[in-house]
Amino acid sequence: MAVTDTKVPYAMTETRSTLPKTQYAVQLVGPSELKLNRAKTVPQPRAHEILAKIEAVGLCFSDLKLLKQFDAHARKSEVIGGLGRDVLSEIQSYVPGKTPAVPGHEAVIRIIAVGRKVTRHKVGERCLVQTDYRELPTASSNAAFGYNFEGALQQYVILDERVVIDSTGQRFLIPVSEQGSASAVALIEPWACVEDSYVNPERRTIKAGGGLLVVTAAGHTAQGVAESYSDEGEPADVTTLRDANSDELAALPDEGFDDIVYFGADKQVIEILNDKLAPRGIMNVVLGGQKISEPVNVGIGRVHYGMTRWVGTAGSDASVSYKTIPATGEIRPGEKIVVIGAGGPMGQMHVIRDVCSGVKNIEVVGTDFDDQRLRVIEQKAAPLAAANGAKLRIVNTQKTPLAERFSYFALMAPVPALVAQAVKDASEGALINIFAGIPAPTKQQIDLDAYIARRCFMFGTSGSVIEDMKIVLRKVESGRLDTNCSIDAISGMAGAADGIAAVENRTLAGKIIVYPDLPEVGLIRLEELGEHYPTVAAKLRDGQWCLEAEQELLEVAASK
């Protein structure tokens, strides 16, 4: 019911007397400084704002990266586009830089109040949260719920309608049915991030309307540049340099070019040009029959967070490099895939997604160093692989090193050396999916000669888009996918910090779900659930979390 009282300019489901003044919240106040605030103010929504109650939130390795990096994280910095400073200053949940933040981005919420200027969201709606605000850029990435906007590790959260509607009119708060468990809906977000890494479309031409830099070394000729232009139009600005020295190249604006085409093979030049590549830019190294002959420091952190791309050709025609770019990062028939870090929560999702893809004649090799985690993923994935005609091998590479080549790499650990090793182990045309978020400034020495000769393509995505969420939501609501298969533990707010520590220490193979409505419940493994809540444990389905177990937990734990 709409409230017209000017003192309470919003509609809500809870009266001022039933809505608490304070709430439990996990707050990040500095690098590695996490605290449980038992008295964080529950704000009233302003004109454009939405107040939502958190039903459930999953913990993610990305929460740990934010914890460690805090204001140095690419998504914690100021928004530099999409919304003006005047608008941002009005938003109560905007927390860039050193401002304390509430992490947590894998969430399902219930809208309980809306401001008087909110038009697209209704009180009572249950929503899946799409967290990745790609139209709100930061210096090195983009804004996101749970980073520079407060997230879901609290009982109530403010969202602003000007943030959660994109330029096409799509909602970032996606309505969901009342039927599924909160846990299953919350885990659509990480599954959608996995989906996005495979289906995100790649640019395969020089950007129409973008900035192009062409650098030609002595003895080389620029070929195939115009042939690489997009059908949508030519670049808006073209800068051409020939026989430029290091000082001239260094003077170019950092992150100033959407495409850089370098005709040459000089390591130092490539490393200088690396810093001139804009977010989502493409670096095209045209060797012209020469070799670099030594490893090159490549900004691999920006492949994930900045979505930069590297291509090249051993020949002299720049258009050849662009033509090798795949349409997406999807797996192909006959693929030999290695998922490095398969025993972790996201690794499990990649393995399950791949073996259930329906792509013909694929082999998936899941690797990890932890036998227990590997046993868990084998138990989950082996029956699915058999049912879908996919080959599956699970390998502890500390005990059994792999000495073979792969056509697809999915890297779950943010370890730069893994990217360099993937290039060494790559077969012709290999795709290297840098799924783990290596910090944006990170560079790694890569054998670019081998990378180019084998026509490798490394790529990364950060977060997901609305359509990815809807794809996974359809799978969940139709019964084709049970995201609860990922869960290894549950918690209330009191156990959230322990849950993040478990993610850091790799003591759990699967996901952890936090229920903010249970403020004093600690972290509980599913295998230990009977010791704490025997009636909840009795509701598990073949040992896995499910709607019935969730309903029982919320009833019995809340009554204590």
Query: Could you tell me if residue 204 is inside a domain?
Result: no
pLDDT of amino acid 3: 29
Length of the chain: 560
CB 402 within 8 A of CB 380: no
Same domain, 98 and 132: yes
Give CA–CA dist 491/497, Å, rounded.
Answer: 10
Query: Could you tell me if residue 206 is inside a domain?
Result: no
Q: Which of 459, 478, 499 is the last residue of a domain?
A: 459
pLDDT of amino acid 17: 52
pLDDT of amino acid 11: 57
Same domain, 370 and 439: no
**Per-residue H/E/C for 441-508:** CCCEEECHHHHHHCCCEEECCCCCCHHHHHHHHHHHHCCCCCHHHHEEEEECHHHHHHHHHHHHHCCC
- Least Cα distance to 104 among 469, 491, 376, 434 occurs for 491
pLDDT of amino acid 202: 98
Q: If DSSP codes are grouped into helix, strand and coil, which group holds residue 62?
A: helix
Same domain, 373 and 421: no
CATH of the domain at 374: 3.40.50.720
pLDDT digits (tens, 9 = 90+) for 191-213: 999 999 999 999 999 999 999 99
CB 321 within 8 A of CB 311: yes
Same domain, 453 and 476: no
pLDDT of amino acid 12: 56
Query: Could you tell me if residue 2 is inside a domain?
Result: no
Same domain, 318 and 425: yes
Same domain, 116 and 252: no
| DSSP state letter for 200 | P
Average pLDDT, the chain: 94
Query: Could you tell me if residue 163 is inside a domain?
Result: yes
pLDDT digits (tens, 9 = 90+) for 4-55: 333 344 555 554 457 899 999 999 999 999 999 999 999 999 999 999 999 9
Same domain, 390 and 483: no
Same domain, 551 and 439: no
What Rg value do the Cα atoms of the chain yield, rounded? 24
Query: E strands of 185-273, at which residues?
Result: 211-216, 237-242, 257-263
CB 95 within 8 A of CB 78: no
Same domain, 398 and 417: no
Query: Could you tell me if residue 205 is inside a domain?
Result: no
Give CA–CA dist 189/193, Å, rounded.
Answer: 6
pLDDT digits (tens, 9 = 90+) for 452-478: 999 999 999 988 889 999 999 998 988
CB 492 within 8 A of CB 518: yes
Q: If DSSP codes are grouped into helix, strand and coil, which group holds residue 50?
A: strand
pLDDT of amino acid 267: 97
Give CA–CA dist 340/302, Å, rounded.
Answer: 20
Give CA–CA dist 154/54, Å, rounded.
Answer: 7
Query: Could you tell me if residue 5 is inside a domain?
Result: no
pLDDT digits (tens, 9 = 90+) for 278-316: 999 999 999 999 999 999 999 999 999 899 999 999 999
CATH of the domain at 527: 3.90.180.10
- Say if residue 400's pLDDT is above 90: yes
> Domain of 543?
10-199+466-558
Give CA–CA dist 515/111, Å, rounded.
Answer: 16
Same domain, 171 and 258: no
Beta strands at 336-340 and 309-313: parallel, antiparallel or unpaired: unpaired
Same domain, 225 and 307: yes
Burial of 221 (0-12, 13-18, 19+ CB in 10 A): exposed
**379 contacts: CB under 8 Å, gap ≥ 6:** none
- Least Cα distance to 140 among 76, 200, 69 occurs for 76
Domain count, the chain: 3
Q: Which of 444, 459, 474 is the last residue of a domain?
A: 459
Give CA–CA dist 507/510, Å, rounded.
Answer: 9
Kindly give the interhelix angle for 345-355 and 371-388, rounded to the nearest 10 degrees.
Answer: 20
pLDDT digits (tens, 9 = 90+) for 406-422: 999 999 999 999 999 99
Same domain, 72 and 46: yes
- Say if residue 384's pLDDT is above 80: yes
pLDDT digits (tens, 9 = 90+) for 213-227: 999 999 999 999 999
Give CA–CA dist 186/183, Å, rounded.
Answer: 5
In one-letter notation, the amino acid at residue 200 is N
Query: Could you tell me if residue 331 is inside a domain?
Result: no
- Say if residue 277's pLDDT is above 70: yes
pLDDT of amino acid 6: 32
Q: Which of 419, 434, 459 is the last residue of a domain?
A: 459
| DSSP state letter for 112 | E
DSSP bridge partners of 11: 114
Query: Could you tell me if residue 424 is inside a domain?
Result: yes
